[in-house]
Structures are given as structure tokens and as C-alpha cells.
Amino acid sequence: MKTLLLTRHSVLPGFGLAMGFTVVYLSLIVLIPLAGLFLKTASLSWPEIWDTVASPRALASYRLTFGASLIGASLNVVFGVIVAWVLVRYSFPGKRILDALVDLPFALPTAVAGITLASVYSENGWIGRYLAEIGIKVAYTPLGVVVALAFIGLPFVVRTVQPVLEDFEPELEEAAACLGASRLQTFLQVMLPAMVPAVVTGFALAFARAIGEYGSVIFIAGNIPMVSEITPLLIITKLEQYDYAGATALGATMLVVSFLLLLVINALQRWAWLRSTQR
């Protein structure tokens, strides 16, 4: 292993053991099972794959999954930046609690998020009742999917933007103010460009998470085929009908999308890192 991976000489022991365990465990738990999905897909015939992946029901589920994820992640960008800004720059009572609560969607089990969002946003729920009065139905509609995904994605944008705002040099703002820029101009032309890589990375992370999300969505979505059925749910439906070929084809499609997003996110993070070290 050592010669294979070209380790530079080190006095510390245990590389072989640590690396060996890492690679074996990673392969057994993650890599081999994922490879199994692609192998299984390869054993299907093209028409078989195409009929599932391009069926109207599947296409409708992609539209909902990607569309709602896009809207949810965009909401996260708008409100995530405001929340991050407020948490870094201002002080107000309850700020530390608010800061801690940002991580809640990350720690709260998705099923719990799902049932409680469904109850709060249903027609007689705490918020849903007021929205119903003005004619907006949230729970059991595609809008409910957006609400669940906006909940799930919030920490991603806040937690990627926060450090950038914390490290932002006040001298730059002062210089802009001295040169006669208004606050809005300083924000748009000085601070925003510095925040862009972090915002885009946060958006991509929230979007990637939203696409695969299942637990928080299914309780609030209504799950009507062609209307409010997300792709992960369609995979489960296929499995429950013992349509393993269909579930495999859909699963492989989603996995490919996830891998592409992972590549994009890695590139974005490298870009953000380069931008932050150049300054």
C-alpha cells in the first residue's frame, strides 16, 4: 500500500493499518453497494431503462423534484444571507439561541420535520390557517414540497456565508464609505462579490440535499402521482410493487445527478477557497 500510494517518509507509525481499514470499510459500506446499483442497471436492457426513466410519471416527478429544489434553494439564498448577515453583524436579544437553532434542520430527524411542518402548514395549522384565508394552500400541494425543502436547506447557506462575513475586513467597507459609497453601493459592489462563491456553494449544497430528500417531504406533499410525487418516493413505490428494474433505473439516474452535483460542489469550493486566499 505504501509504495503504491507514494507516501513520503514519515516517522509516524500506523499508516498501513489506518489506510487499510479506511479503504476496506469504505469499500464494503459505500463503494461496493453503490457499484452494485450500476451493475444491476447494466444488466437491464435499454428499452427497459428508457420506459421507466422517461415515463410521464417519472418526468412529472423530476419536474417537481428539481423545480421545488430550485425554488427551495433560492429561498434559502435570500433568507439565508439575511439570517447570516443579521447573526454576524447585529446584536439583539435571543441572537445566540437563533444562531444555535440554524442547525436544527440538520439535527432534527426528517420524519419529525415532515409531520410537524404538515401540521403547522395544514389548513387548520398555526400558519396554514392564515394562509388559507388568503387562498393559499400549502400542505398536500407542490407548495408544501417547497416549504419542506426550504426548511431542510437553510443551514447550508447560512453556515457557508457566515464565516465569509465574519472574516470580511472592515477596512474595505471603511474605504468604500470614505470614497463616498452609500451603504447599499458598498454592499452590492464590495461585499456581495466577496460573498458570491460562498452563496453559490451554499445554494449548490442545499439544492443537492433537496433533490434526494424524502422524509420531510412525503408528509406534507400529498403524494399524488403526476402532481405532488417526488422522485425518491417514486423509487419506493416501484420497490413496493416489486418493480426492481424500475427502481434500479430511477435510482441510477438520480445517483448520476448526485455525482454530477458533487463534482460541481467540489469545483465551487475550490473556487471559493482560491478567492478567499487571493485577497
Q: For residue 88, state whether it binds other proteins (rule: CB under 8 A).
A: yes
Q: Give dist(CA 138, CA 172) in Å, integer.
A: 43
Q: For residue 208, state whether it binds other proteins (rule: CB under 8 A).
A: yes
Among the listed ranges 5-13, 47-55, 56-64, 221-229, the one in contact with other proteins (CB under 8 A) is: 5-13
Using the rule CB under 8 A, which residue among 59, 241, 258, 274 binds other proteins? 258
CB atoms within 10 A of CB 104: 12
Q: For residue 183, state whether it binds other proteins (rule: CB under 8 A).
A: yes
Of 22 and 189, which CB lies nearer to other proteins in the complex structure? 22
Binding to other proteins in span 17-76, by CB under 8 A: 17-19, 21-22, 25-26, 29-34, 36-37, 40
Of 46 and 178, which CB lies nearer to other proteins in the complex structure? 178
Least distance in Å: CB of 10 to other proteins? 6
Q: Which residues, other chains included, contact 121 with Cβ-Cβ below 8 Å and sequence gap of 6+?
A: 127, 128, 131, 138, 139, 144, 147, 220
Using the rule CB under 8 A, which residue among 59, 115, 192, 224 binds other proteins? 115
Q: For residue 168, state whether it binds other proteins (rule: CB under 8 A).
A: yes
Q: For residue 113, state whether it binds other proteins (rule: CB under 8 A).
A: yes
